[in-house]
Amino acid sequence: MKFGTKAIHAGVSPDPSTGAIMTPIFQTSTYVQKSPGDHLGYEYSRTHNPTRTALQNSLAALENGKHGLCFSSGLGAIDAVVKLFNPGDEIISTSDLYGGTYRLFTKVFERYGIKFHFVSMADPESLTAYVNEKTKMVWVETPTNPMMNIIDLKAMAAFSKKHGLLLAVDNTFASPYLQNPLDLGADIVMHSVTKYLGGHSDVVMGALVVKDDELASKLAFLQNACGATPGPQDCFLVLRGIKTLHLRMERHCQNGKTIAAYLKNHPKVDKVYWPGFEDHPNHDVARAQMRDFGGMISFTLVGNQLEDAKKVMESFHLFSLAESLGGVESLCGHPASMTHASIPREEREKVGLVDSLIRLSVGVEDAEDLKNDLAKALAKI
């Protein structure tokens, strides 16, 4: 089955008791048993819920995996992955990392004796220096936030295999429409479902997809034992969102391309970070591992003044200033003061995260209107 057909049909089937074409919201905590242990496969909704099962199967299909597991947030999903390991174990992670993941790793799991190495992944071979007998996993995010760097997943998979490490990929920015890390050799794919998969800015949820049965059962154990599971109403909303994932992503990509090109030619814009540009440093890798280039764009202003960036963001009508991304509506954010405020200025400036950097999550509105919104806001400086 091709992607669009899977988005609509995979994992779901009409409800056998009524014929309802849409998976019902099974708003129940428990399930009646005929006799102790004699049940229909469902005992308690933390462990299993039919609405969640449908969503988990849909996500597994979209990522070309075998097992999907949903969590109450993206961070809940990452939490379960790290709980596979023991005190003393070591994890190598991308340095260019979602702030919440960095906080979970350093402020929570380091207290439990897990050691993290945050490194640039531009050259996989340079990671060898961080491998020892305690190393267990490599954690990758690509494209990265907000600098839109691309990490070569095939190369990272080869490196991980060679050293007997698990490779986990946070695929939130790409969504399963643009990139399928399991096909490139990853062991675990993670999503903040909150973003493109949900797609309508109305749900917070996370997910993991794996191929391996044993790894899946370890993660399912943690999902149930630690209990960060989503409710059926949220699962329903994401099932609904997924039905248009391919259509939304096509438009996000189209609009992304239009807006990136517009910004690149604007006299008040300095740098534009978007992997679809041929002069993007990792363009060839992006072209090889992604289906298209997405709607996430970062840009800086000529003169690099914080006041100018603020004025532009305050002047937008269509790009709402808000955390998050991947919804149908366009958003803008200011990494230096919002998502990456806790990183010291010197550190963030080294990677290009300067005061005037603005991040856009380009939505699925009409591109002409989005361009006009940008034109008017940039005219204010």
Ligand X SMILES: *Cc1c(COP(=O)(O)O)cnc(C)c1O
Report the catalytic residues. Answer: 46, 98, 170, 195
* Footprint (CB under 6 A) of ligand X, residues 124-153: 141, 145
Q: Which stretch binds ligand X (CB under 6 A): 24-32, 167-175, 207-215, 233-241?
A: 167-175
Instruction: Examine residue 204 and tell whether it contacts ligand X (CB under 6 A).
Output: yes
Amino acid at 193: V
Instruction: Examine residue 98 and tell whether it contacts ligand X (CB under 6 A).
Output: yes
Least Å from the CB of residue 207 to ligand X:
9
Instruction: Examine residue 198 and tell whether it contacts ligand X (CB under 6 A).
Output: no
SS3 270: strand
Contact present, 30 and 45 (Cβ < 8 Å): yes
Instruction: Examine residue 170 and tell whether it contacts ligand X (CB under 6 A).
Output: yes
User: What DSSP assignment string belongs to 154-220?
Assistant: HHHHHHHHHTT-EEEEE-TTTHHHH--GGGGT-SEEEEETTTTTT-SS----EEEEES-HHHHHHHH
- CA–CA dist 129, 50 (Å, integer): 46
User: Is the CB of 75 or the CB of 127 nearer to ligand X?
Assistant: 75
Q: Which stretch binds ligand X (CB under 6 A): 123-131, 161-169, 192-200, 293-301?
A: 192-200
Burial 157-190 (b: 16+ CB within 10 A, else e): bebbeeeebbbbbbbbbbbbbbbbbbbbbbbbbb
Nearest partner of 53 among 235, 195, 237, judged by Cα: 235
Instruction: Examine residue 68 and tell whether it contacts ligand X (CB under 6 A).
Output: no
Instruction: Examine residue 252 and tell whether it contacts ligand X (CB under 6 A).
Output: no
Least Å from the CB of residue 29 to ligand X:
23
- CA–CA dist 228, 6 (Å, integer): 27
Residue that the structure tokens 């080869």 belong to: 158
User: Is the CB of 98 or the CB of 262 nearer to ligand X?
Assistant: 98
User: Is the CB of 96 or the CB of 308 nearer to ligand X?
Assistant: 96
Residue that the structure tokens 């490490």 belong to: 165
Instruction: Examine residue 201 and tell whether it contacts ligand X (CB under 6 A).
Output: no
Residue that the structure tokens 């039905």 belong to: 243
Least Å from the CB of residue 222 to ligand X:
16
Q: Which residues pair with 237 in a beta bridge?
A: none
Least Å from the CB of residue 266 to ligand X:
26
User: Is the CB of 131 or the CB of 175 nearer to ligand X?
Assistant: 175
Instruction: Examine residue 244 and tell whether it contacts ligand X (CB under 6 A).
Output: no
Site string for ligand X, 211-240 (x = CB under 6 A): ------------------------------
Q: Which stretch binds ligand X (CB under 6 A): 69-77, 117-125, 160-168, 214-222?
A: 69-77
Instruction: Examine residue 96 and tell whether it contacts ligand X (CB under 6 A).
Output: no
Outline where DSSP puts E strands in the chain: 67-71, 90-94, 115-119, 135-141, 166-170, 188-192, 206-210, 269-273, 296-301, 320-321, 331-333, 358-361
- CA–CA dist 3, 176 (Å, integer): 9
User: Is the CB of 257 or the CB of 359 nearer to ligand X?
Assistant: 359
Least Å from the CB of residue 323 to ligand X:
8
Q: Is 344 exposed, middle or buried (0-12, 13-18, 19+ CB in 10 A)?
A: exposed
Instruction: Examine residue 75 and tell whether it contacts ligand X (CB under 6 A).
Output: yes
Contact present, 199 and 219 (Cβ < 8 Å): no
* Footprint (CB under 6 A) of ligand X, residues 328-357: none
Interacting residues toward ligand X by CB under 6 A: 73-75, 98, 100-101, 141, 145, 170, 172-173, 192, 194-195, 204, 206
